[in-house]
Amino acid sequence: MTLGVASVMPQQTAKIGDLLRSGTPRFSFEMFPPRSEKDEATLWRTLRNLEQLGPDYVSVTYGQGGKTRDKTIETTDRVISETTLLTMAHLTAVDHTVSELRNLIGHFANVGARNILALRGDPPGDPQGEWVKCPGGIEHARELVELIKTSGDFSVGVAAFPEGHPRDVDWETGVRHFVEKCRAGADFAITQIFFDAEDYLRLRDAVAAAGCDVPIVPGIMPVTNIKQIERFAVLTGMVFPEDLAERLRAVEDDRDAIRDIGVEVATDLGRRLLDEGAPGLHFTTLNHSRSTRRVWQNLNGGKRGTRAHA
């Protein structure tokens, strides 16, 4: 496919919640809006490379603190109109009134985005700062789920936290909040990235025990940069396993070796999760596809995919 040339677009009406209940593992990739012309070229090169794998869907993030909201909308629109990729838009409640959120939801509907990941979002400027509700806005992610579901025929996803949400008083409270989001209308969930399959299985089983059968998709990111993953751990509260950290630090001056370890760990984790019945895998790419494609090929026997819903 030629960079910059629009692909022939199939119907963009497939619902991710339905795809994840099909019994066939689904693979998806997460992008973030570009911040410069160079970033934009990188993003589109990555999208075209991933498009050839036939992923079930891709998502476009809303940016920390909602800072890239205009670019999110622009990028989502362009991916929908110029590629064959089923596209999910991220939407956060940060600094938005209910009226503004309704307008954004209406815009996504108009351009054909029928799948939305509903997130409360992090406080602007300091992800670990105190959450302050926007005047005229909403307080909780479940309210955003309800708003989207009452605004049209959308499939709505929410976030899940296998290691617990850093703002919850305890793990059980996090499970309860998650179930509340699902009962508000969420059709599926995608987890924060993690490294221990047991954390995911514990969450999945606790949610099922609470009577909630919403598909929970594990979020995976192959490590390509030690400092980057350490920052992620600080910002999100994610556990960065010490044994993995030691392996990576032992080869910190060899980028290829770091990538090889990252691919190996992500492949092993992904295979275990799929063996345990996970409905699919959602890869955080950071707009680069080399390591992610290697993991995908390891898990799919080197074959290129064909989207089942296309």
Q: How far is CA 230 from the centre of its chain?
A: 19
- Active site (annotated) includes residue 30: yes
CA-CA distance, 55 to 152, in Å (whole number)? 25
CB-based burial, 213-222: b 16+ in 10 Å, e otherwise: ebbbbbbbbb
Tell me if 141 sits within 8 A of 119, measured CB to CB. Answer: yes
Position 214, amino acid = V
End-to-end CA distance of the chain: 17
Q: How far is CA 285 from the centre of its chain?
A: 10
The DSSP code for 281 is E
Length of the chain: 310
Which residue in the block uniquely carries the two structure tokens 């990028």? 75
Which residue in the block uniquely carries the two structure tokens 């990235």? 193
Residue 192 corresponds to which tokens in the numbers above?
Answer: 């924060």
Q: How far is CA 72 from the centre of its chain?
A: 14
List active site positions.
30
